[in-house]
Amino acid sequence: MSERPSLKPVYLITGSDRPKVETAVHRLRARFLDEATEIVTALETTGADVVNLCNAGSLFGDARLVLVNDVDGRRKEDNRPPTGGWKAEDVEAVTSYLASSAPDTVLALVGLEVKKDSPLAKISAKSGDVLVYDVPKRKHVAWVADRFRQAGVKAEPDACALLIEYVGEEDLHGLANEIDKIATWAQGEPIGVDEVELLVSPVADVPSFALTDTWAARQPGALLEVAEKMLERSDRPRRDTVPRLTGSLNGHLARLRQLKRLANEGVPPKEAAAALKMHPFYGEKVYRQAEAFSDDELGAATVRLAELDLALKGGSRLSADVELTRALIDVSAEPDRG
């Protein structure tokens, strides 16, 4: 018989930082033999069934772990709203069990987002421990930078922001995977925007900083090079990628116009970003870009991208690539000051 681990009867593990949640679960599982571990999902297993598993005991008397995933009604790989999970009677069954739990069994409850004031969280805190691993809102750049530091690599803020833009700020697991990949490649060397662009394929539906920065800098030639690089790296056909890229440019232009309006009203960059619910780093960057354009220029760009959208939807006999090239040259050209 193995030595009983010094653990509490129940642990509730939850939070938006999925990599840390998975690390906590992995460490807990490492305290038990594989054959003494039961893993089920609350989407398919009732609270009463979980209680029966906890009370079943081990064939060889080893300490046991009963791990229940998806206690908030969502599968761990799914960020959509809850679609099922435990009802009140399931929680009541677990609550009754924890009043007199099996001495050699640890119950682990895992969910994406279990509220601290929920019945399950309250009973877990009373009988065991609640482990919450969250990423504070608008702190994703700091989170990425910290993950790089943990991997022994220093990453520039622009590089962290670009990685979030490529992967998406909600996909922390995907970000963690990319950070590990980049850190392995870097071998301790610092990471900048160039390294992120080289090693990471964009999956989020937003343009890269390289594209929008080059646009704001009014460098038509460089802008065309960046756009071509993005088209080449896409895993979609060019005829599908050009409209998506156009949609992203339209979205960025809309944010430019919103921030330009707030700048004209005297709203500071940080407050303007907060008002539009934009990430502070990204919002302040776009704010500075907006200041480089006049209202007339942004209005003309809106019309030009609308013409591009119409052309891509059958309003032109030219190829999508040619129409995109013409539009990018037009919107990035220096204004006529004469």
Q: What is the pLDDT confidence band of residue 1, given thresholds at 50, 70 and 90?
A: very low
pLDDT at 112 over 90: no
How many angstroms separate the CA atoms of 256 and 54, rounded? 57
Give the pLDDT confidence score for residue 137 in this predicted structure.
Answer: 61
Give the pLDDT confidence score for residue 244 in this predicted structure.
Answer: 78
HEC-encoded secondary structure of the chain:
CCCCCCCCCEEEEECCCHHHHHHHHHHHHCCCCHHHEEEEECCCCCHHHHHHHHHHCCCCCCCEEEEEECCCCCCCCCCCCCCCCCCHHHHHHHHHHHCCCCCCEEEEEEECCCCCCCHHHHHHHHHCEEEECCCCCCCHHHHHHHHHHHCCCCECHHHHHHHHHHHCCCCHHHHHHHHHHHHHHHCCCCECHHHHHHHCCCCCCCCCHHHHHHHHCCCHHHHHHHHHHHHHHCCCCHHHHHHHHHHHHHHHHHHHHHHHHHHHCCCCHHHHHHHCCCCHHHHHHHHHHHHCCCHHHHHHHHHHHHHHHHHHHHHCCCCHHHHHHHHHHHHHCCCCCC
Q: How far apart are the first and last CA of the chain?
A: 89
- φ, ψ of residue 107 to 5 degrees: the values are -105, 125
Residue 188: which residues within 8 A CB-CB, separation 6 or more? 152, 153
- φ, ψ of residue 235 to 5 degrees: the values are -90, 5
How many angstroms separate the CA atoms of 271 and 234, rounded? 35
Q: What is the pLDDT confidence band of residue 234, given thresholds at 50, 70 and 90?
A: low
Nearest CA to 13 out of 1, 30, 27 is that of 27
pLDDT at 206 over 70: no
Give the pLDDT confidence score for residue 2 in this predicted structure.
Answer: 44
Give the pLDDT confidence score for residue 80 in this predicted structure.
Answer: 46
Residue 301: which residues within 8 A CB-CB, separation 6 or more? 253, 293, 331
Q: What is the pLDDT confidence band of residue 208, given thresholds at 50, 70 and 90?
A: low
User: For the whole model, what pTM was predicted?
Assistant: 0.51
Q: What is the pLDDT confidence band of residue 73, given thresholds at 50, 70 and 90?
A: confident
Lowest mean pLDDT among 47-51, 52-56, 234-238, 256-260: 234-238
pLDDT more than 90, % of the chain: 38
Phi/psi zone of residue 202: left (φ > 0), alpha (ψ -120 to 50 degrees), beta?
Answer: beta
pLDDT more than 70, % of the chain: 88
Give the pLDDT confidence score for residue 191 in this predicted structure.
Answer: 92
Give yes or no for a contact between 241 and 274, defined as CB atoms under 8 angstroms apart: no
**Mean pLDDT of the region 23-31:** 92
Give the pLDDT confidence score for residue 336 in this predicted structure.
Answer: 64
Mean of all residue pLDDT scores within the chain:
84
pLDDT at 51 over 90: yes
Give yes or no for a contact between 65 and 108, defined as CB atoms under 8 angstroms apart: yes
**Mean pLDDT of the region 277-293:** 82
Q: Which tokens belong to 92?
A: 């009541």
